[in-house]
């Protein structure tokens, strides 16, 4: 497609491409035919995405000679479970998939993580294609190969690395996203901008209006820049032994909010936005970040109109949830903290200081100080 852009993800042994642009869903069949001689392709999707997009994907696969089938799961984070993964695996077996066949993940980050995990373990691993349909999935979760499910103990605690054959990010799909999911995706774009550096961050600040109003040119550039950022990080550190940890900016607090509120009660990106606000304040005390940089980040989230949530959550429960975060070591939570655009480090925080910050922050969130649109947590 002439309007699309290709971003390489340079992982061994098989590098792949993320293609960003309009109209790409109908291209999946021919693209997959170039990549594999497989006979069958199973589309995994959810019950909100299926009525919108499954048909065009299935028709494209069939017209390229694949025997296409479909597994539809209930929409939302509550489908990202071990039990649901088992049902998806049973469906693969029922569809007769063999080792040469392909799983096509069509949907948001929940579907990408769930279907990707199932593809990683079915017959010890079969091929995967990612067709992300939320902003969050296009800018973040479909790229980089992390897949998995939540456990009662916490987010993403069971999973596998599974790099796809390719990713097609069809920007046309984003026009039907509800506002809350748009904001959720913008939070991950903001994270990428803050961690990438001054150029991306200031582009976001001047492009906020275009992003709020979903102008196609702003969307295309935000997705491309975010994918380029993530691809660069993942290409350098696929298994998170260093650089990749920066992608967790805002996530220690964000994952705790998701867990304590109950998975699915608050969308991932909205929780991450709270995590960015929290981490930006913590960084002032812990690594001497300038207060102005914390304000700048809060202002960016505000101008992108990412809603504040009422954090009427138990501070002790939030602190406890951080101990079971994937990044914790010996029960001590670790935070990505930034002191300037593109300048970050990972650190533990003295417990008393952390508890004080959680208490202060929860108080601020509950008063709704920094935002007007609140999304309740009930």
Residues of the shown chain interacting with ligand NAD in the complex, contacts defined by CB under 6 A: 46, 48-49, 75-77, 80, 107-111, 113, 133-134, 136-137, 140-141, 144, 146, 155-156, 173, 176-177, 181, 184, 267-269
268 in active site: yes
Distance from C-alpha of 47 to C-alpha of 36, rounded to nearest angstrom = 28
CA contacts within 13 A on the Cβ side of 93: 10
Of 19, 70, 77, 188, the catalytic one is: 188
240 in active site: yes
Q: Tokens representing 258?
A: 């998701």
Closer CB to ligand NAD, residue 192 or residue 286? 192
**Shortest CA distance to 112 belongs to which of 53, 164, 186?**
164
Closer CB to ligand NAD, residue 28 or residue 294? 28
146 in active site: yes
Distance from C-alpha of 29 to C-alpha of 22, rounded to nearest angstrom = 16
Closer CB to ligand NAD, residue 239 or residue 295? 239
244 in active site: yes
Which secondary-structure segment (H or E) carries 102? strand 102-107
Of 124, 329, 352, 369, the catalytic one is: 124
CB of 117 to ligand NAD, least distance (A): 9
Buried b (16+ CB within 10 A) or exposed e, 111-130: bbbbbbbbbbbbeeebbbbb
Of 255, 281, 308, 319, the catalytic one is: 255
Of 162, 230, 327, 357, the catalytic one is: 230
Distance from C-alpha of 168 to C-alpha of 208, rounded to nearest angstrom = 25
19 in active site: no
Closer CB to ligand NAD, residue 108 or residue 193? 108
Closer CB to ligand NAD, residue 188 or residue 294? 188
What are the E-state strand segments in 120-166?
127-132, 146-151, 154-161
124 in active site: yes
356 in active site: no
Which secondary-structure segment (H or E) carries 219? helix 216-236
239 in active site: no
Residues with a catalytic annotation lie at 124, 146, 188, 230, 240, 244, 248, 251, 255, 268
């Amino acid at each position: 497609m002439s309007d699309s852009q290709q971003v390489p993800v340079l992982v061994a042994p098989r590098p792949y491409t993320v293609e960003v642009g309009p109209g790409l869903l109908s291209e999946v069949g021919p693209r997959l035919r170039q990549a594999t001689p497989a006979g069958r392709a199973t589309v995994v999707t959810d019950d909100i995405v299926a009525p919108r997009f499954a048909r065009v994907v299935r028709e494209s696969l069939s017209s390229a000679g694949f025997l296409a089938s479909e597994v539809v799961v209930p929409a939302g984070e509550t489908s990202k479970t071990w039990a649901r993964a088992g049902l998806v695996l049973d469906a693969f077996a029922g569809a007769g998939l063999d080792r040469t066949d392909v799983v096509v993940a069509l949907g948001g980050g929940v579907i990408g993580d769930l279907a990707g995990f199932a593809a990683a373990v079915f017959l010890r691993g079969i091929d995967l294609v990612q067709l992300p349909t939320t902003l969050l999935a296009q800018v973040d979760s479909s790229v980089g190969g992390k897949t998995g499910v939540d456990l009662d103990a916490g987010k993403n605690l069971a999973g596998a690395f599974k790099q796809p054959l390719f990713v097609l990010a069809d920007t046309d799909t984003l026009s039907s996203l509800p506002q809350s999911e748009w904001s959720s995706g913008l939070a991950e774009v903001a994270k990428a901008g803050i961690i990438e550096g001054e150029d991306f961050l200031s582009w976001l600040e001047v492009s906020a209006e275009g992003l709020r109003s979903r102008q196609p040119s702003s969307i295309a550039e935000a997705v491309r820049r975010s994918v380029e950022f993530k691809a660069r990080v993942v290409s350098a550190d696929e298994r998170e032994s260093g650089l990749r940890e920066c992608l967790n900016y805002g996530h220690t607090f964000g994952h705790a909010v998701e867990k304590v509120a109950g998975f699915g009660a608050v969308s991932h990106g909205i929780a991450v936005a709270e995590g960015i606000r929290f981490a930006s304040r913590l960084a002032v005390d812990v690594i001497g970040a300038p207060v102005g940089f914390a304000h700048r980040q809060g202002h960016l989230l505000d101008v992108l109109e990412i809603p504040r949530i009422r954090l009427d959550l138990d501070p002790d429960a939030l602190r406890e949830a951080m101990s079971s975060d994937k990044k914790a070591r010996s029960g001590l939570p670790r935070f990505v903290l930034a002191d300037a655009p593109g300048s970050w480090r990972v650190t533990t925080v003295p417990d008393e200081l952390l508890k004080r910050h959680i208490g202060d922050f929860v108080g601020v969130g509950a008063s709704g100080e920094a935002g007007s649109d609140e999304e309740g947590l009930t």
